[in-house]
Amino acid sequence: MKTVSSPLLVLKSLSKSWREFQIRDVNLEVRRGEYFVVMGPTGAGKTLLLQLIAGIHYPDSGKIILDDVDVTYLPPERRSIGYVPQNYALFPHMSVKDNIGYGLKIRGYPKDEIERRVRELSSKLRIDHLLERRVSSLSGGEQQRVALARALIIEPKILLLDEPLSALDPETREEIRDYLKEIRRMLGFTAVHVTHDFIEAVDLGDRMAAMFNGEILQVGEPMEIIMNPRNELVASFTGAKNLFKGEVVARRGELAEIDLGGVRVYAATRRSGKVMVAIRPENIIILLEKARISARNILEGVIEEISEKPPYISLKIDAGLPFTVYLTRNALEDLNLRVGKRVYLAFKVSAVSVF
C-alpha cells in the first residue's frame, strides 16, 4: 500500500557492528522530498548508517523500508539509491561522460539515449563543459558535481551524501551548499546527508538527527537541536562551547535563575534541580561598559586569549567560569579588544540552553 504521506525511508531498530563502528537500535523516518541531515562526530557510525541504507552492508538486526518495500537484505543494485561517498570515487579509468552515464550503460540503455540524458543532466548541473575531461584533471568541487550527476542520472529514490563538503576548502564549501540547494529545487530529490558540521545541518537540512556512538540521540529541525540540545553529548558536538553544570536556585514562571558555581545566569526552562547549561559562543555579545540592553544576562570578565577560528575570532574570557565567545573581525577591531582587557558578556535568556 503506497500512500503519498508515508515516509520514503524508514529504519526500524537497526543495529550493526562492523570493524570499530557500530549502529545501535536506530529508528528513523525520512519523509518524501525531505533533505535529512545526520550529524555526529567522527566515528559515530554515520558512514556505516549510509552503507546500510545503500545495501553495502546488511544489518545485524532491524529493518530498512524504502518506498514501502522492505529492502533490508536486497543487494545495492536492486535498491535504486544514489550514493556519493566521501572521496566521490569517480571511476579513474573512465571519462567524466562515461562516469555519469555508467548507471544507464549498466541498465542497457542505447548509446544515443545515454548520450542525450548525460548531456541533458550535465547542462542542468552546469558541468557540460567537463564531459570530455579526464577524472584526474578535475578540481574537488568539479568532482563533487560529477559524482552528484552520476548518482542522480538513475533517478534514484533517495540520494545518500557522505560528508560531501568535508574534502573542500571553505569557500568551495559554501558554493557547493548553495549548489546543492539549487539542484534540489530543480530536481526535487530526497536526500540523507551525513556531516560533522552543524553549519551544513542548519543551512541544508529540513530536519536532522544527532548521532553519537551509533545511536540517534535527537531528531528535529536543525536550529531546534542546535539551540536546544537534549543532552550534554548533543550539545558538545553541535558546537556548544560554553557548557556548564549548574543548579536552578530560583524561578519566576518560566524564568529560572541558575547557579553555575558562583556565576548566575537566567534561562527559560521548566527544569529544576541540577541541570546542564549551554550557551553558543556566537550568541554572546561583548560590551565595554555595563550598558542597559535587553539581554538579561550580563557577566563581567577578563580576556585571556584571542585566536583565529575562521570565519570568526575566538575569545577566551574568564568570567568566574571559562567562556568562549565568537566575534567577527570587525567587531574585534571596533571594540579594540586585547588580552587582559576587562569586558562584559551579554546574552539573552533564550540563548541559554538548559538540559
Partner 1 sequence: MDLEVLNALLTTFTAAAMAALSALIFGTPLAYVLARKDFAFKNLLESLMNVPLAIPHSVAGILVLLAYHSRSSIGEILSRIGIMVEDSFWGIVLAMLFVSAPIFISSARSGFSMVDETFEHVARTLGAGHFKTFFTVTLPLAFRSIISGIIVTWARAVSEVGALLIVAPYPKSIALLVIERFEAFGLSAAIPITALLLLIGVVVVLTLNYISMR
Per CB under 8 A, residues contacting partner 1 are: 51, 54-56, 75-77, 79, 81-83, 85, 87, 89, 91-93, 102-103, 106-107, 150-151, 154, 156
Which grid coordinates are listed for 194? 551525513
Within 10 angstroms of residue 343's Cβ, the number of other Cβ atoms is: 20
* Min CB(98)–partner 1 separation in Å: 10
How is residue 283 annotated by DSSP? Answer: G
Query: What is the C-alpha separation between 305 and 337, in angstroms, rounded?
Result: 10
| Of residues 26, 31, 1, 27, the one with CA closest to residue 157 | 31
Q: Which is nearer to partner 1, 47 or 238 (CB)?
A: 47
* Min CB(347)–partner 1 separation in Å: 44
* Min CB(23)–partner 1 separation in Å: 17
* Min CB(103)–partner 1 separation in Å: 4
Q: Which is nearer to partner 1, 149 or 319 (CB)?
A: 149
Q: Which is nearer to partner 1, 100 or 260 (CB)?
A: 100
Query: What is the C-alpha separation between 305 and 181, in angstroms, rounded?
Result: 37
* Min CB(109)–partner 1 separation in Å: 11
* Min CB(53)–partner 1 separation in Å: 10
| Of residues 239, 228, 233, the one with CA closest to residue 214 | 233
- The residues pairing with 193 across neighbouring beta strands, listed in sequence order, are 37, 161
Q: Which is nearer to partner 1, 89 or 285 (CB)?
A: 89
Q: Which is nearer to partner 1, 77 or 259 (CB)?
A: 77
* Min CB(50)–partner 1 separation in Å: 10
Q: Which is nearer to partner 1, 103 or 246 (CB)?
A: 103
* Min CB(337)–partner 1 separation in Å: 46
Decide: residue 23, CB within 10 A, 0-12 exposed, 13-18 middle, 19+ buried: buried
* Min CB(76)–partner 1 separation in Å: 4
Q: Which is nearer to partner 1, 153 or 265 (CB)?
A: 153
Which residues, at least 6 apart from 3, have a Cβ–Cβ distance to it below 8 Å?
none
Q: How many CA atoms lie within 13 A of 93 on its CB side?
A: 0
| Of residues 157, 192, 146, the one with CA closest to residue 36 | 192
Where is 234: in which H helix or E strand? helix 232-237
| Of residues 278, 344, 355, the one with CA closest to residue 317 | 344
Where is 180: in which H helix or E strand? helix 170-187
**What b/e sequence results for 94-104 when a residue is b if at least 16 CB atoms lie within 10 Å of its CB, and e otherwise?**
bebbbbbbbbb
Are the C-beta atoms of 207 and 224 separated by less than 8 Å? no
Q: Which is nearer to partner 1, 90 or 267 (CB)?
A: 90
Q: Which is nearer to partner 1, 154 or 349 (CB)?
A: 154
